[in-house]
Amino acid sequence: MSAAPFDLSGRVALVTGAGSVGDGWGNGKATAVLLARHGAAVFGLDLNEAALADTGAVLADEGIADRWAARRCDMTDGADVAAAVAACVARFGRIDILVNNVGGSAPGDPVTMDETLWQAQIDLNLTTAFLACKYVLPVMTAQFDAAGRGGAIVNIGSIGGMTYQVGGRVSAGYAAAKAGLVAFGRSTAIAFVRQGIRVNTVVPGVMYTPLVEHRLVRQLGADDAARLIADRHASVPMGRMGDAWDVANAALFLASDAAGYITATELVVDGGMTAARPG
């Protein structure tokens, strides 16, 4: 291993959901910025062009705008994903790191969810990763055949895939999709292990990202949202929610040479939450 295992100079990272729903730091935005700060050229994808522009502006402020390019992409649309992967290769020449970050939860159990919402949850949280891998893996395997270096894929899961509810509500579609993402990551890792490609999943707990206030304030109103945010902090053994940088740091580690012997597994980033649960 090199003396600077987190140095990503010369690497190219494709990050999905590289914007954020509100002001501040979502997991994909923080991961994109952190990878660029460590030397990677980052190609950001998101549905929301203004959010991508915000991420790019951070890197421009830091004087590393040359490490950033972006494109609007609906990660649930295979043709759009194929075109975005081709655009990344056209711009930066290769793909060494893929971060499958797109996702989001909707509440509901099998009775309260309609079929459309169920399918949308599976599409958003699982099919997006499948589509990205479908088009990125051939790029990585070609790199391995040519130069002996494949790549690293990092999925962003959720403890919602390990527990029946998070924050007091059931999200059956999200839980199924995020559990599926772990299985998808493990099986893909073994399928490509001899081609120099590692696949792992970061499993965040309750994180304080802009999504929390953006969605909760809309769903609950400001007073109830403030109480719920306090309850979310209190629900974690460490006494506080994590944030997007906790997720980004884990993604950086798994993407880097420091994790060179780590594949087909998960890194739980939850302040002790899953271990502290009964059962």
The site for ligand NAD (CB under 6 A) is made up of 17, 19-21, 26-28, 46-48, 51, 73-76, 101-104, 124, 156, 158, 204, 206-207, 209-211
User: Which residue, 247, 267, 144, is CA-closest to 199?
Assistant: 267
For residues 29-55, one letter each, b for 16 or more C-beta atoms within 10 angstroms of the residue's C-beta and e for the rest, the string is bbbbbbbbbbebbbbbbbbeeebbebb
CA atoms of 160 and 180, how far apart (whole Å):
11
Residues 6+ apart with CB under 8 A from 263: 189, 193, 198, 199, 200
- Rounded Cα distance between 197 and 189, Å, is 7
* Cα–Cα distance, 190 to 153 (Å, whole number): 12
Shortest spacing between CB 47 and ligand NAD, in angstroms: 4
Report the nearest approach of ligand NAD to the CB of residue 270 (Å): 9
Mode of pairing for the β-strands spanning 41-46 and 197-204: unpaired
- Residue 83 beta carbon to ligand NAD: minimum distance, rounded to whole angstroms: 13
Residue placing its CB nearer to ligand NAD in the complex, 12 or 247? 247
208 is an active site residue? no
Query: Which entry of 164, 174, 208, 261 is annotated as an active-site residue?
Result: 174
Six-digit token string for 168: 């007091």
**Closer of 8 and 248 to ligand NAD (Cβ):** 248
Element (H, E) at 151: strand 151-156
Instruction: Give the nearest distance from C-beta 249 to ligand NAD in angstroms.
Output: 14
> Which residue, 158 or 256, has its beta carbon nearer to ligand NAD?
158
Least separation in angstroms between CB 146 and ligand NAD: 30
Q: Which is nearer to ligand NAD, 137 or 166 (CB)?
A: 166
Amino acid symbol at 91 = R
Q: What would the DSSP string read from start to end of 33-82?
A: HHHHHTT-EEEEEES-HHHHHHHHHHHHHTT-GGGEEEEE--TT-HHHHH
CB of 9 to ligand NAD, least distance (A): 26
Partners of 266 in beta bridges: 201
CB 100 within 8 A of CB 132: yes
Tell me the catalytic residues: 174
